[in-house]
Structure 1
Amino acid sequence: MKTINPDLSFYGIGGDKMIQAGLNKVEHIKNMNVIGLFEVLKHYPRIKKIFNKTVRFINELKPNKVILIDYPGFNIRLAKKMKKLGIPVSYFILPQVWAWNSSRAKDLQQTCEQLISIIPFEKEWFSNQQIDVHFVGHPLTSILKQKFDSGFLHKRYEIGQDKKIIALLPGSRTSEVKKHWPVFLKTIKAFNASSNHKIQPILIQAPNIKIENIPEGLVVIDKNHYEALSCADAAIVCSGTATLETALLNCPMVVCYKLSSLTWFFAKKMSLVKHLSLVNLITEKEAVKELLQKNMTATNIVNEVNYLFSNEGKNAWAENYGLLLKKMKSETTNPYHNAAKHILQ
């Protein structure tokens, strides 16, 4: 947006990259990185304090527009407050109301001036609810235009060509890593003990996350994530945006996720969709295996990754990758620029 209009000023909640791009920080997003119903309740006083602080700041600033990005639990409530204050709202990267609690779609319609989608099937879903949504394409499709050195990891870390590289993505939130990393460690041990393949595990570490208890011989990657993933023979991925990134880099994967037992119980009750990962939701089939909750065990992960290494698994992935590319195809060349133009029109 600053490219279109350099005189614009931005204030709000964001991470390091947004701050570097010129955001005047009201709060850092790392202070709100909580997922799960009961996990949110545990941190509710802090999040409530940030919410009230944000509303007060906006009321004093009286901006021309409020732009909301993802983070539905916080942002839908904020949109309602903005409606009362008479401040126009644009919502970019929409809450997944098609996955659970679809009544929130009406809240979006009533409180937001513009709804901007990045997921291919969302425009049709919202249209069926008589709600207008502007689809700009998915930003991650830019991955398809990039070229990566497939021998990057082998050369930098002297990894033998006889080893299968397995990327480990345990999550981008501390709560996710706490639940997933112990299982990932058991999986590495299980591979070394039982698999016919020699492996080299690499940890793709998310920003603002520091993982302890890293075994000797495990390669840690904290930058050049895409290049590293493009070298991997398979990946074990915490469900989220990372699954789509990994898939678009043509890296076959197993998707894993664990929540607290109570959060999982209610999530299952409220869910309106068959799959959790974006790859499966977009392709409308189980293109990647999902090992969730009690099914996320070292034995199950090893078995599924070994399947990905088989000829049958490779052929299945090639077919599913082709389907994903077809579904992700968009006429828009730059989703961020398209979204910025729509917001500023």
Structure 2
Amino acid sequence: MTLVYVVAGESSGDVLGARLVARLREARPDLRFAGIGGERLAEAGIESLFPMRELALMGLLEVLPNIRALARRLDETVADIAARRPAVLVTIDSPGFALRVAARVRPLGIPVVHYVAPQVWAWRQGRVKRMAGRIDRILALLPFEAPFFERAGIPVTFVGHPVLESGADAGDAARFRRRHGIAEGERVVLVMPGSRRTEVGRLLPIFGETLRLVAGRHPGLRPVVPLAGPVEEAVRDAAAGWTPAPILVRDLADKHDAFAAAEAGLIKSGTSSLEVAMAGVPMVVGYKLNPVTGWLIRRMAKVKYASIVNLLADAPVIPELLIEDCRPPLLAEALGRLLAGEGVAEQREGFARVMSLLSPPSGGSPSEAAARAVLATVRA
């Protein structure tokens, strides 16, 4: 039987990997799977080599204290791949770890497909040259990524964005309000602080204070925070003292119902902004880094926007308050404007334009397009 080895390093990659495995099984029931993942890949039948949460780190100063542990996990991963000799290695997002794995297994002659193009087009563009010798194909989620990587000699397949099959736009607002006892007149605000421990630790105190400020001007606020597996405990701890108290949701259907019920969102920049945009929830994007990492990114950034929605629209559809601007008073002012109805229609018009760009040109769903690309690499 043919073995596919999958490496995912964070929650979003775990979801992508699970969908990919399901589509691969449909196309090739003879396939076997192994690798590293979280809860979703475990449900898909992959027993993780070690806990995925150990890889969910971001930022230079966050990674450095864990460098020895990460190096050990890198060695373990490479040794496991060498022992199993899969027909293809699929690394998903988490480029810091994934591309090191790819470089180490390259001498073994195992084809490597990297799912989710690293955002080197945004900063550190010189890294794309090093990638060319490590991977055989990139599966890109965004339409403008293919030309960038192809210029460096890396084959790319634009497979479409998985947000299109997330169900983010299929929630039931009335069901959510009934389930959580939300009274008529109370206003749901969605809060999404990310899926990495460092992001949660830095953003949730800021978001919590922002909500306290907004609640003083907009009574009846009910914050809702979806829980992501690797950071669930950190979110619960950080949000425990919030005023107003948050509703914490773990179930995916409940999360999508929360999207439908939300009047506005306070969202970490990144993929989550696309998910919220698909649900039509007007939002403010915030992101905080430690000062050193923030300074480096400011100097090296090659793009005008941080959120994918704004990048695809090539316009400031969503207000972005980043790094030194990610402060409760500024966030509260922007969120308050949305709750007052200012700019809501314009955001939703921008969301519709962005969503129209994300379907795979080959047809079908993004996960089906990704599975076709992986299987083509296996056959090659």
Q: Same fold (TM over 0.5)?
A: yes
Deviations 1:153-192 (A, max 9, x none): 3222232332221111122122211111111221122122
1:10·1:24 contact (CA, 8 Å) conserved in 2?
no
Name the structure, 1 or 2, with higher relative contact order (CA <8 Å, separation 6+): 2
Equivalent in 13, 17, 21 of residue 40 of structure 2:
17
Match of 1:123 in 2: 146
2:69 aligned with 1:42, yes or no? no
Percentage of pairs with the same residue: 29
CA distance in 2, matches of 1:261, 1:147: 39
> In the alignment, residue 333 of structure 1 is paired with which amino acid?
G
Match of 1:90 in 2: 113
2:366 aligned with 1:335, yes or no? yes
Consecutive unaligned residues of structure 2, counting only runs of 5 or more, are 1-23
> In the alignment, residue 261 of structure 1 is paired with which amino acid?
P
Deviations 1:271-299 (A, max 9, x none): 21121111112211211111112211221
Consecutive unaligned residues of structure 1, counting only runs of 5 or more, are none
1:143·1:248 contact (CA, 8 Å) conserved in 2?
no
CA distance in 2, matches of 1:310, 1:191: 11
More moved, 152-161 vs 271-280: 152-161
2:228 aligned with 1:202, yes or no? no
Match of 2:265 in 1: 235
> In the alignment, residue 214 of structure 2 is paired with which amino acid?
F
Q: Shift of the alpha carbon at 1:51?
A: 0.3
2:262 aligned with 1:262, yes or no? no
CA distance in 2, matches of 1:196, 1:182: 20
Q: Shift of the alpha carbon at 1:41?
A: 1.0
TM-score, normalising length from structure 1?
0.93
1:92·1:116 contact (CA, 8 Å) conserved in 2?
yes
Deviations 1:64-116 (A, max 9, x none): 22111111111222222222222211111121121122222223332222221
Match of 1:251 in 2: 281
CA distance in 2, matches of 1:272, 1:263: 15
How many residues are treated as equivalent by the alignment? 344
Equivalences for 1:110-149 in 2 at 5 Å? 110-143=133-166, 147-149=170-172
> In the alignment, residue 52 of structure 1 is paired with which amino acid?
D
CA distance in 1, matches of 2:219, 2:147: 44
Equivalences for 1:1-345 in 2 at 5 Å? 1-143=24-166, 147-193=170-216, 195-196=217-218, 198-208=220-230, 209-210=232-233, 211-212=236-237, 213-215=240-242, 217-223=245-251, 224-331=254-361, 332-345=363-376
TM-score, normalising length from structure 2?
0.85
> In the alignment, residue 187 of structure 2 is paired with which amino acid?
K
CA RMSD, 1 decimal:
1.9
Q: 1:196 to 1:13 in 2, by over 3 A?
A: closer
